[in-house]
Structure 1
Amino acid sequence: MENMSFEQLVKERFNELSPGQKKVAEYLVQQPEEAVFSKAAQIGRKVEVSETTVIRLSYALGFSGFTDMQEKIQRQLFVSNHQSPIVSDINSSVHFELSDKEISPYAEVIENEILYFRQMIEQLKTEEMDKVIDRLIHADQILIAGFGASYAAAYWFSYTLGMLRENVTVCHQTGEFYQKICNLTEKSAVVVLSFPRYSKDALHVAECAKKLGIPLISVTDRMLSPVGRISDITLTTNVESDSIATIFSFLFLIIEGINHKDKARIQKRQQKLEQLYSSYEVFIE
């Protein structure tokens, strides 16, 4: 338990919690800064449950009591709040450049994106990212699913991943998903992209993969999103729903990780692809 983050601990035991405990757990995961300075009774009032429910959650998660659980969250916040010098320099330079002039709507959007990237650096879980990269390298087949606004990112991810390895498919309709999942095995992987507003189709796909015993990876905005809470590996990028640039950048990190770890095999595949492109004049040179 000591090596797990609080979010991972909640995710692992979420289905065992009572409805009231689940409400408290979601609040603690989403609002850790407020939670660490509040008493159990205050948290209970905010979530509209009893103080006893808050305390019982700590026992259900394996802590010796509420104080022990709160200290776990405090330690995690202390580590995550130590920004790297690079991030601090970026923030300082952006605000310096924009402080003496009126900020245009376009500049404001860019500044917000930089803040999202800062959050990504702070919250990036390297171990979980490495697990996903290894799974995607060694899987015999990969099926990527995204619905609604998430489909654009799912399509780009499948196309780019398909340049690096074989047997990568994408779907954006549950009907075609059931046809494609029939070909998968326990050595395969299903990747579901799910961001607010959450699609029921994404949850149906995730539930189907779990039922069939196919490893499920989700890329979502929070650990306890409908898809995130049931995934074998959950990668989170806590962004606003309209920040598509940050989502693409997060997926690009996975692509770069695969490029780095599986370089020799990727080079052979890309040489073959280039020969085909040249032979059939696919691109305008």
Structure 2
Amino acid sequence: MLNPTPASADELLQRIQADYDALPRQLKRIATYLTQQSERIMVERISDIARECEVHPSAIVRFCQRLGFSGFSQMQALFREAYTHKATPVQNYQQRIRNLIAEQHGGASPAVLARDCIEATRSGIERLGLELDDAAFTQAVDLLVEAENIYVVGVRRSFAVADYLVYNLQHTTKRIHLIHGLGGGYREQMRSVRANDLVIAISFSPYGKETQQCLRIAQHQQAHSLVITDSPLSPVAKRASAVLLVNEGASFAFRSLAATLCLCQALFIAVAYRLELKVDEMQEQMGFDD
């Protein structure tokens, strides 16, 4: 017997999140993609989604039927109804990429590639502005303000963001710790985490095992955790006290970091405002000129 058909895209995404743990592995890939790229679904072909999820198109049909739809077209219509009236920079960018690939048989020029990279970055920041959860952001600021110690972890491409966030937060009077895992010492660096501390974890698909380990330690120590990630279904989100979602634009499979950096800078500014810090005083205290 089919499940009742969701009445809206939001209801569909909520049902996916509720049923996620019970899904087979292939259908979990599809569920994660839908939550990360919901605004693209209305324009993408079933073959495009299957390729991105590394599954056969029939798996997407099974996924749709499991959720109460007759097939992919009916589910896609729900997303079209929800997102047609919104600004859609991601959709426009994806269509331009397809056109570029189709037109540039002899290879794209460096300038064209640069502009597509810039456009991908811009689309990610615009999407962040459209989708930022105000309540979740306020909760994240509360956690930062109330924490005794703040530990920040991010591995591989997320490490640059973690280091940037640490740099910003060091302009406050908070005790800030970068979990860099030099020599593989993630567990050792996390040993001092306590219940009144906050662990900030920055992690995107495929979600670093080291970051997940740090969050498990934080949970064991009863510390709070703030996760910056790309899906509410990600394994790091399940252990979080608060979650901030950000989906970057991508240029030929290379993801930008601009939207994530922007989000982290916004966090710092909001925390500094709450702590009533003045920029001139922070620079003088810390000895920074820039």
The two structures share one fold, judged by TM-score above 0.5: yes
Contact kept, 8 Å, 1:203 with 1:227, in 2: the verdict is yes
Contact in 2 for aligned 1:8/1:223 (Cα 8 Å): no
Aligned to 2:179: 171
SS of corresponding position for 2:161: helix
Equivalent residue, structure 2, for 1:98: none
Task: State whether structure 2 residue 200 is matched by structure 1 residue 191.
Answer: yes
Of residues 229, 233, 247 in structure 1, which corresponds to 2:242? 233
CA distance in 2, matches of 1:223, 1:110: 27
**2:82: which partner in 1?**
77
Q: Deviation per CA, 1:211-253: give whole Å up to 9, x if none.
A: 3332222112222233234333221211135312222112112
Greater Cα offset, 109-118 or 138-147: 109-118
Q: Distance in 2 between matches of 1:112 and 1:37?
A: 17
Cα 1:173/1:270, change in 2 over 3 Å:
farther
How far apart are 1:284 and its partner, in Å? 7.4
Give matches, 1:188-267, under 5 Å: 188-239=197-248, 240=250, 241-260=254-273, 262-264=274-276, 266-267=277-278
Q: Deviations over 1:70-107 (max 9, x none)?
A: 69x6599349x5239xx8xxx9xxxxxxxxxx964333
Check the 8 A contact 1:194/1:202 in 2, yes or no. yes
SS at match of 1:217: strand
Aligned with residue 29 of structure 1, among 35, 52, 71: 35
1:29: how far off? Answer: 2.1
Matches within 5 A, 1:1-285: 7=13, 10-11=16-17, 14-15=20-21, 19=25, 22-23=28-29, 25-30=31-36, 32=38, 34=41, 46=57, 48=59, 51=62, 58=67, 74=79, 77-78=82-83, 81-83=85-87, 104-173=112-181, 175-239=184-248, 240=250, 241-260=254-273, 262-264=274-276, 266-267=277-278, 271=281, 274=284, 276=285, 282=287
Q: 2:86 is matched by which residue type in structure 1?
A: H
Retained in 2: the 8 A contact 1:11–1:229?
no
Structure number with higher relative contact order (C-alpha < 8 Å, ≥ 6 residues apart): 2
Distance in 2 (CA, whole Å) between partners of 1:111 and 1:24 is 26
**Identical counterparts, % of pairs:** 19
**Matched residue count:** 249
CA deviation string 1:26-61 (max 9, x = no partner): 3542454648999xxxx997362885x7566x5xxx
Give yes or no for contact 1:7–1:223 (8 Å, CA) kept in 2.
no
The alpha carbon displacement at 1:209 in A equals: 2.0
Cα gap change, 1:17 to 1:159, in 2 (>3 Å): same
The residue type equivalent to 1:128 in the other structure is: A
| One-letter identity of the residue aligned with 1:105 | L
Partner of 1:62: none
Aligned CA RMSD, in angstroms, stands at 4.2
The residue type paired with residue 163 of structure 1 is: H
Q: Distance in 1 between matches of 2:119 and 2:29?
A: 33
Unaligned runs of 5+ in 1: 59-64, 92-101
Q: In the alignment, what sits opposite 1:94?
A: none
Task: Classify the secondary structure of the residue corresponding to 1:198.
Answer: coil
Three-state SS of the structure 2 residue aligned to 1:163 is coil
Instruction: Name whichever structure is richer in helix by fraction.
Output: 1
Residue by residue over 1:131-187, the C-alpha shift from the partner in whole angstroms, topping out at 9 and shown as x without a partner, is 111111111111000112211110110121121231111112185432343322222
Query: Whole-Å Cα distance in 2 between the matches of residues 214 and 6 of structure 1?
Result: 32
**TM-score using structure 2 length:** 0.66
Aligned residue number for residue 97 of structure 1: none
* Unaligned stretches of 5+ residues in structure 2: 1-7, 94-108
Shift of 1:10: 4.4
**2:255 aligned counterpart, secondary structure:** coil
Cα distance between partner residues in 2 of 1:165 and 1:152: 22
